[in-house]
Structure 1
Amino acid sequence: MAVWLATGQQRVLAQATTKTNTQQELPVPKGIPNLLFYVQRDPNTNTIVYELNLDSKGNLNQEEPIRIYWMRYADGGHRQDLNFIQRKFAYGLHVKKITPEKYELKFVCYDKRTLYLMKGADGRFHVYTAIGKKQSILSRVFVRIEGGTFWVPNVVYAEFTGQEAATRKEIIERFKP
């Protein structure tokens, strides 16, 4: 994961928190009806949100199926769009349309993990990926950073959290990118 930067206009409250292994409490995004997953990294609480992008009729936007933005919890909880560098080098996604209801996704900063946006058994879109070698619905990515530089941070590990698609049990995988 080459670059995990910081930056995030609409107020949304985080009603719950989750703890990292350093016991830092991070907010859990709430009140986002089409939330797919979110990315957090320490040492700050700002969160990158990946939300299903629907048109005014409730149909998936075929050109841009996922809307990505910051929740700036450290700055009062407002929403902020990603800037160019963040979209192109850090938190953006490469999106490849496979069918109108299935898309291949890869982070622009780390293409070794493939994600898929597709409809689940419940008829709703989810982001699927392998977590612990099991097909899972991704809900959170956490990136532990210790030092490094703006362009090349020292990523100690990344952690994917989700639910096994078959059983809906929580599953977590930590790995060194």
Structure 2
Amino acid sequence: MSLHRRPLRVLVLPAATALAALAGCAPGSPTARIDPPPTPPAAVAELCRALHEELPETVAGLERTRTEPQSSLTAAWGGSAIVLRCGVPKPPEMLDPDQEGVHVNDVAWLLDKRSDGGFRFVTGMRTAYTEVLVDKEHATDAGMLVGLSAAIAETVPEGISSY
């Protein structure tokens, strides 16, 4: 995975298959319907619980949203505008040496442009994979990853996840 520091707005990537994590929720809704990832190993779930406690209350100016079902593996901001799932399995794109990425606050992110104009970011080189889905409106630059990266850097150690 090639990790470059450059603004997100200049990266154009082929559309990748994004996980269908959202259903029946519009950006700005008071509740976001997010399917938690399949049950991760206990050590990964523990890291995700620690991350959940450190996540910021606002991301890209959007307030944190209640999720259904409630889970320490999920979080959302602005309804479904920005959605986080911790403990996801290793994405197959991680095996592609030409896959693009960015570094934000010492956290490496694989990124995929989605067919709807939004982005899917997945942490790399951490002992638990965290996925962030961002709608088209809020995917204008990687600045929205700053607070999320700080929380991840504090709670999820560097390394390679075996999950």
Same fold (TM over 0.5): no
More helix per residue: 2
TM-score by length of 1: 0.28
Which structure carries more relative contact order (alpha carbon 8 Å, separation 6+)? 2
Bigger fraction of residues in strand: 1
Choose 1 or 2 for highest CA Rg.
1
The TM-score with structure 2 as length reference comes to 0.29
